[in-house]
Amino acid sequence: MEIKQGWLIDARQVPSPNHDKRPEGELPSLLIVHNISLPPGQFGGPYIDQLFTNTLSEQDHPFFSEIVNLRVSAHCLIRRDGEIVQYVPFTERAWHAGISLYKGREKCNDFSIGIELEGTDECDFTQQQYQQLVEITQSLIALYPAIKENITGHSDVAPNRKTDPGPHFDWAYYRSLLTK
């Protein structure tokens, strides 16, 4: 996958306002894998894009009243069918990890890239999602080599707050695909 000026060339681009500059001189050195579904447990539809662009309507689902005022984003989303949507260029800081800690370093958004997989803690991810995640990861490692040794889940950087990508994310399978 080709990356140009922080954007994946072949991804659908939906720019999010929920990002800012990384600290001076900071390059991405961590990849954080997440999962998301909106409404919870439902796939497809416009709601993830709307959440990340601050256009979610609380009238569309009762759960949305709990999250409508959140200002969050991720660099990319990989949908169940493998479609990649990019919200924030990799050169910028997306607001995906929140209060977080990795190897003694706080504020993981400063030095990480966040990739959301459309899914839940209760279901397996698709082959298309793993394949796209591997391709994105390999492209990111080519640009930011430190990522190779620093790939983790949201639950690992925010263990008391988050559970994603969840027990159905097959870390061994993903890592085996990365080495092929």
Catalytic residue list: 116
Residue among 25, 27, 49, 23 at smallest CA distance from 36: 49
- Cα separation of 46 and 172, whole Å? 31
- Cα separation of 117 and 76, whole Å? 9
- Cα separation of 75 and 113, whole Å? 6
Residues 73, 34 contacting (CB under 8 angstroms): no
